[in-house]
Amino acid sequence: MSTETVRLVLLDTLEAALEAQLREVRQMRLSMQERLPAKMALKFRRSLSQTEMALEVVQSAGKPLHLTEIIKAIEERFAISVDRESLGSALTKRAVRADRFMRAGKNTFGLLPPS
């Protein structure tokens, strides 16, 4: 095997190992955040949009949720207040575009299956 081939194999191996480590670190961070009170968890995460917060809430629930349930969960988990009309409009637009969300009923939103 040439030196260049060995170098490429080594770099590919290192890249795969680092990607696996990064996945584990992200999973540990998420697990840690779920156990912390909402106000403390905010210090450990980047700023999320309300739509991203809704995505996390619906993912955690594992089922479609009514807008009222989504807002309540966001307010509890992220310790912020959410404007109902604004979030409802944003989720409806995402559902119409088939962008991660779907409508499961009136003011009820679920996640599209991964494609």
pLDDT by position in tens, the chain (length 115): 899 998 988 888 888 888 888 888 878 877 766 665 655 555 555 578 899 999 999 999 999 999 999 999 999 888 889 999 999 999 999 999 999 999 999 999 999 987 6
Q: How far apart are CA 39 and CA 106, in angstroms?
A: 31
Are 94 and 101 within 8 A, CB to CB?
Answer: yes
pLDDT of residue 113: 87
pTM score above 0.85: no
Pinpoint the alpha helices (H) of 1-115: 3-35, 38-43, 50-61, 67-78, 84-96
CA 69, CA 58: separation in Å to the nearest integer?
9
CATH classification number, 37-115, choose in 1.10.3720.10, 1.10.10.10, 1.10.287.610, 3.30.830.10: 1.10.10.10
Nearest-angstrom CA–CA distance, 83 and 75: 11
Closest C-alpha among 69, 77, 66, 74 to residue 109: 66
